[in-house]
Structures are given as C-alpha cells and as structure tokens.
Amino acid sequence: MKRETRGELREWIENYRKYLLEIEEIEDGKVIETLELRDKIKNLMEKLEKKGVDLSAEKSRLDSLDQIIKEKAKIFWKKLKSSTGDPVFYRQEKNIPPKKWWWYPDEIIREEKRRFKRKWIKRAIIAGACLGFVYLFFTYILPKPTPYISCIQEAERLLEEGKINPALETYQKATKISPEEPVAYLMAGVICEFLGDKDRAKSYFIKAKERYPSLYDFYLARGMSWMRLGKFSAAEKDAKEAVKLNPQSAEAHFLLGNAYEAQNKIPEAITEFGIVSQLDTDPKLTVMARYKIGILSLKRALPPEPTQ
C-alpha cells in the first residue's frame, strides 16, 4: 500500500493551485477533478495531522487558495452545473456533506447575497437614523429663522450689494414684522441719514434707542453701521459716546480705533488699539488689536509717499 507523505500533500496543493488559476479557461468537466482533488487534500491532511505532522504552512497556503473558490463562486457554480446537469442531485448521489463547502458554490453565492442585503439594510438604518437626527436638529434644536431674521438677512444682502433703497424698504418691512426689535429701526435710520433724510433718520433713531438695552448698545451698534457705510467721522463720534458710557468696553475702543484708522489718524488709532490690548477681555479682539498696532506702527515709520 502506497504511503502518503507530506511531500505528496504539497504536490497536490500545487496541482490544486494550477487548477484554480486556470478555472476560467479549463473545460467544464475539469471542475469535478478540481473539487475531488480538494477532497483528497482534506483527507490526507487529516491523516498526517493524526500522526502529529505540523501542517501550519500547508494550511496557510491552502486557505489562500480556497479564497479563489469563494471569490469565483459563480464561475464554479456555472461549470458545476454544466458538468453534472444538476449539482444538487449530484451531491446527494455522491453523499457529499455540506462541510465540504467547496462543492457548494451556490451556498457561497447565497450567503454573499445575504451579506450584501444585510449591509445595505444596515446602511439604510444608519442613513435613516442620520436623516432623523438632521430633521430633529434643524426642526427642534436649531430653530428656523423667524420672518424677522429672514427679513434682516435679506436687507443685509441688499446693502452689501449697494442696493440702498431696496435695503431701506426691507428694513422698514422688518419694523412692521417685529416692532419691538431695535436693529431694523437703527439701520433704517442710518440709511435715511446716509440719503440725507435727517428728519426720518431722527425718528428711526429715537425708536431704536427706546428698544436697545442701553444707550451704550445703541451707540456701539450705530457706530458699527456708520463704518459699514463709510461714514467714518460719524462712527468716531458714536464710538466716543460708547467709550464714555462704558470705558472698559474693548468693543467700543476697538471701534474707535478703526474709525481713527479709516481717517488716517494713526497715533490715535494706535492708542485705542493699545487700550484694547491692555483690557484683554476678548481674546480675538486682543489679537486683532495687537496685529493692527504692529501694522500701523510700521506705517507710521515709513516716509510719506511723494506727492504728484
């Protein structure tokens, strides 16, 4: 009786490898030989292991080769059907158990479909949960802009585009939507003043003052608005009022510094930015103030540009 050895096992594994690498080109009938060879490899490995032979290297190589069957299960199934006519009947006739999984590429295909379906169901659940969270976030956690806010945003957009009169009309509309909010009155007054309609501007400013928490808040907000429209002397005036009302306000000193800078009053601007830096109540303003001090100090040190 022929003695089966580890060398023979390695030879069979090598032949198995050759079959698998050529599975797409070989004749349909060869798939039976391939799977029967896999049976022989299994049986021999079991015998050698009972004798205490270490087959870890052979098992590792075999696992990598078996992966080819799993990856090409559809090809194996197609060739198995061509070779046997009815693979299910053939397996029953030959009494091939399911543990010899290489004879069951149809099960591999079904499992892959189940896995694919589970994956997409899982993705759908996660996506649904995410969409649900997004819906809850934007519906309940993050409030939708009120009509007033939407109106203010539209007016801001028009103002940025230089459409002064449409912006004024939109701010006026906002005062009717939320009569107790101060911003729309303030901006309507600023625009009216800018257009030369001082009486209407004064009326809007009175209403804005009544609605801001304090005169300081009013002057600070109006000063910032003047800056946006390039009315730097008016911004300076309001910034000084804000500083007078709240000397420890970094925002008021920063606004005054910007108004001075815009009018090329460099020493005064440096002084105000220095105060912001010393107050150090707002990290962002402190950084910006120190940056401006550096830039303006450099500008002051440069010789004046020659006149034409």
Per-residue pLDDT tens digits for 49-89:
898 888 888 888 888 888 888 888 898 899 889 888 899 99
Can you tell me the mean pLDDT for 99-113? 89
Identify which of 208, 165, 161, 153 has the alpha carbon closest to the alpha carbon of residue 186.
208
Residue 137 pLDDT exceeds 70: no
Of all residues in the chain, what percent carry a pLDDT higher than 90? 43
Of 211, 243, 262, the one marking the end of a domain is: 211
Number of domains in the chain: 4
Inter-CA distances, 132 with 117, 138, 222, Å: 22, 10, 42
Helical segments of the chain, H only: 6-21, 30-50, 56-71, 73-84, 87-93, 105-136, 147-160, 164-177, 183-194, 198-211, 215-228, 232-245, 250-262, 266-279, 283-301
Q: Which two tokens stand for residue 84?
A: 């046997």
Can you tell me the mean pLDDT for 106-128? 70
pLDDT digits (tens, 9 = 90+) for 181-239: 999 999 999 999 988 999 999 999 999 999 999 999 999 999 998 988 888 999 999 99
Residue 171 pLDDT exceeds 60: yes
Q: What is the domain-level CATH number for residue 185?
A: 1.25.40.10
Of 103, 131, 160, the one marking the end of a domain is: 103
Range of the domain at 83: 6-103
Give the confidence band of 284 by pLDDT, cuts at 50, 70, 90.
confident
- Does one domain contain both 78 and 17? yes
**Whole-angstrom distance, CA of residue 185 vs CA of residue 244:** 23
pLDDT at 136: 47
Opening angle at CA 60, ends 51 and 32, nearest 5: 85
- Does one domain contain both 139 and 155? no
- Does one domain contain both 186 and 250? no
Of 156, 182, 211, the one marking the end of a domain is: 211
- Does one domain contain both 255 and 297? yes
Inter-CA distances, 291 with 14, 96, 298, Å: 73, 82, 11
Radius of gyration of the chain (CA): 42
pLDDT at 36: 92
- Does one domain contain both 90 and 174? no
pLDDT at 97: 92
Assigned domain for 268 exists: yes
- pTM for the whole structure: 0.52
Assigned domain for 234 exists: yes
- Does one domain contain both 132 and 207? no
Give the confidence band of 258 by pLDDT, cuts at 50, 70, 90.
very high
pLDDT digits (tens, 9 = 90+) for 14-63: 998 998 888 888 787 788 899 999 999 999 999 998 988 888 888 888 88
Residue 109 pLDDT exceeds 80: yes
pLDDT at 212: 92
Q: What is the mean pLDDT of the chain?
A: 85
- Does one domain contain both 243 and 159? no
Element (H, E) at 304: none
pLDDT at 143: 54
**Whole-angstrom distance, CA of residue 220 vs CA of residue 69:** 76
- Does one domain contain both 89 and 18? yes
Backbone φ and ψ of 98, nearest 5°: -60, -25
- Does one domain contain both 88 and 19? yes
91 against 134, higher pLDDT: 91
In the three-class reduction of DSSP (H, G, I as helix; E, B as strand; rest coil), residue 29 is classed as coil
Least reliable range by pLDDT among 179-183, 240-244, 257-261, 280-284: 280-284
Can you tell me the mean pLDDT for 259-265? 91
